[in-house]
Amino acid sequence: MYEYLRGVITEVTPYYIVVDVNGVGYQVYVANPFKYEEDEHVEQKVFVYQAVRDNDISLYGFKNSSEKQLFLKLLDVSGIGPKSALAILANDDNRGLINAINSDDDGYLTKFPGIGKKTAKQIILDLKGKLSDVDSDMLTGQDNLDLNASSPYLKESLEALRALGYTKTEVKRISKKLEKYDGKSTDDYLRQGLRLLMS
């Protein structure tokens, strides 16, 4: 099992990043690949989880160990797989997620793609009161990117929302509002899109 990869991020796509470790490119699925744009072509430490299935071995990556801890806790919930857990982590408000779980707010949880009432109640049942060891301070306050272009990143952010599991209808519903948003990067647009989808 891998704990982390230390290498250069050579590619950022709507679905994953590529981390080059001594000439080997590792495809790593992450909650919001565009958070890593500022780290592209720079050596970084990416915490990882390796998922092994009958016909697939995948790596899932995280900015820090607290994000990884929360991911692992979500995987312990019946009905939550790695992709669903990543979609939940893509929302910046992970402290809000923890608060929702601890206060039985299943309505908040059903706003995530693929999470219905039954799964939301299961998340609360399995995780309520069990997230105290996750450092919620490290989960918030992501760095803001300051890039010169704005609108060219809109398309990438919409693709990333689709990759997270939101339907075409859901993404289309917020796309007009995002067009009026003055973001500085794909990450900005993606964060704003997630806020709109969660509201």
Percent of the chain surpassing pLDDT 90: 50
- Rounded-to-integer distance, Cα 164 and Cα 117, Å: 19
Q: Is the pLDDT of residue 129 over 60?
A: yes
Enter the pTM of the model: 0.71
Q: What domains appear along the chain, each with residue ranges and CATH number?
A: 4-62 (2.40.50.140), 73-139 (1.10.150.20), 152-198 (1.10.8)
Q: Is the pLDDT of residue 150 over 70?
A: no
Contact residues for 31 (Cβ-Cβ < 8 A; gap 6+): 62, 67, 86, 87, 89, 90, 164
- Rounded-to-integer distance, Cα 26 and Cα 164, Å: 20
pLDDT category at 139 given cuts 50, 70, 90 is low
Q: Determine the average pLDDT of the residues in 122-132.
A: 91
Q: Is the pLDDT of residue 141 over 70?
A: no
Q: Is 124 in contact with 168 (CB distance < 8 Å)?
A: no
Greatest CA separation for the chain: 47
Alpha helices in the chain (DSSP H): 65-75, 82-89, 94-102, 106-109, 117-127, 136-139, 152-163, 168-180, 186-198
Of 58, 56, 60, 62, nearest to 35 by C-alpha is 62
Q: Is the pLDDT of residue 55 over 50?
A: yes
Tokens encoding 10: 């050579």
Tokens encoding 139: 């989960």
Average pLDDT, the chain: 86
Q: Is the pLDDT of residue 7 over 50?
A: yes
- Rounded-to-integer distance, Cα 31 and Cα 113, Å: 13
Q: What is the pLDDT of residue 95?
A: 81
Tokens encoding 71: 């991911």
- Rounded-to-integer distance, Cα 139 and Cα 123, Å: 19
